[in-house]
Amino acid sequence: MLFVKKSTIPKAGKGLFTDTFIKKGAYIIEYTGDIVTWDEVIKRSEAGRGGYAFYVTKKKCIDAFDHPESLARYANDARGTGRIDGLKNNAVYAIKRATGFIQATRNIQAGEEILVWYGPDYWKEHEEELKAFKKRVRSEAAKKGWLKRKRAKK
């Protein structure tokens, strides 16, 4: 059985865990949510509703943004920004008969977190968004004079 709790990855929020042994190659869970086109995924992402889309085809993507009950959306990526030495992904996203799944790439022990590689495009976009956010915060802080006060304290 799968369950959600605080992730082992710093600042990752919640994570997906198993309380039973999962054999290498097993389909762990189906990825569920709204069935939309890739164009709709882009529109939703630009509106601030991104981060939970599973691409199957250009005409079929699964968006779990509005589906907190969709446990697969809680699987984190060990290769992300909050890396821990020695922690590696143990699963991949897989497509079987036009349906999205998370599939084990090695045996997973009871109590382990399910960790799936999101791919380079996800992290590239995430890093660009983070840089833009930090730039906005610095700009706002500079306008309010916070940066000058902080530097003066040093």
Give tens-digit pLDDT for 63-84: 999 999 999 999 999 987 667 8
Which of 80-89, 100-109, 125-134 has the weakest average pLDDT?
125-134
Same domain for 133 and 63:
no
Helix boundaries (H) for the chain: 38-46, 120-143, 146-153
Side by side, which strands form the sheet with 99-104? 27-30, 99-104, 91-96
Rounded to an integer, what distance in angstroms lies between the CA atom of residue 19 and that of residue 132? 39
Question: Domain check: are 64 and 11 in the same one?
Answer: yes
Whether the pLDDT of residue 52 is over 70: the answer is: yes
pTM for the model: 0.77
Asked whether residue 76 falls in the same domain as residue 39, the answer is yes
**What's the pLDDT score for residue 107?**
98
Please check whether residues 66 and 43 belong to one and the same domain: yes
Confidence of residue 133 (pLDDT cuts 50, 70, 90): low
Q: Say yes or no to pLDDT of 102 above 70.
A: yes
Ranges 11-15, 54-58, 118-122, 143-147: which has the least confidence:
143-147
Does 71 share its domain with 84?
yes
Give the structural domain span for 142.
120-154
Question: How many structural domains does the chain have?
Answer: 2
For residues 32 and 64, the answer to whether their CB atoms sit within 8 Å is: yes
- Residues 6 or more apart whose CB falls under 8 angstroms from that of 18 comprise 1, 2, 3, 28, 108, 110, 111, 112, 114
Average pLDDT over residues 18-32: 98
Task: Give percent of the chain above pLDDT 90.
Answer: 62
Question: What is the predicted pLDDT for the residue at 97?
Answer: 94
Interatomic CA distance for residues 98 and 46, integer angstroms: 26
For residue 5, give the DSSP letter. E
Q: What strand order describes the sheet that includes 53-57?
A: 34-36, 60-63, 53-57
DSSP 89-109: --EEEEEETTEEEEEESS-B-
Q: Where is average pLDDT lowest: 58-62, 97-101, 115-119?
A: 115-119
Q: Cβ of 115: how many Cβ atoms within 10 Å?
A: 25
Mean predicted confidence (pLDDT) in 46-63: 91
95 and 151 belong to one structural domain? no
Q: Are 28 and 104 in contact (CB under 8 A)?
A: yes
In this structure, what CATH number is given to the domain that contains residue 28?
2.170.270.10
Whole-number pLDDT of residue 146: 66
Q: Is 25 in the same domain as 87?
A: yes
Mean pLDDT throughout 123-142? 61
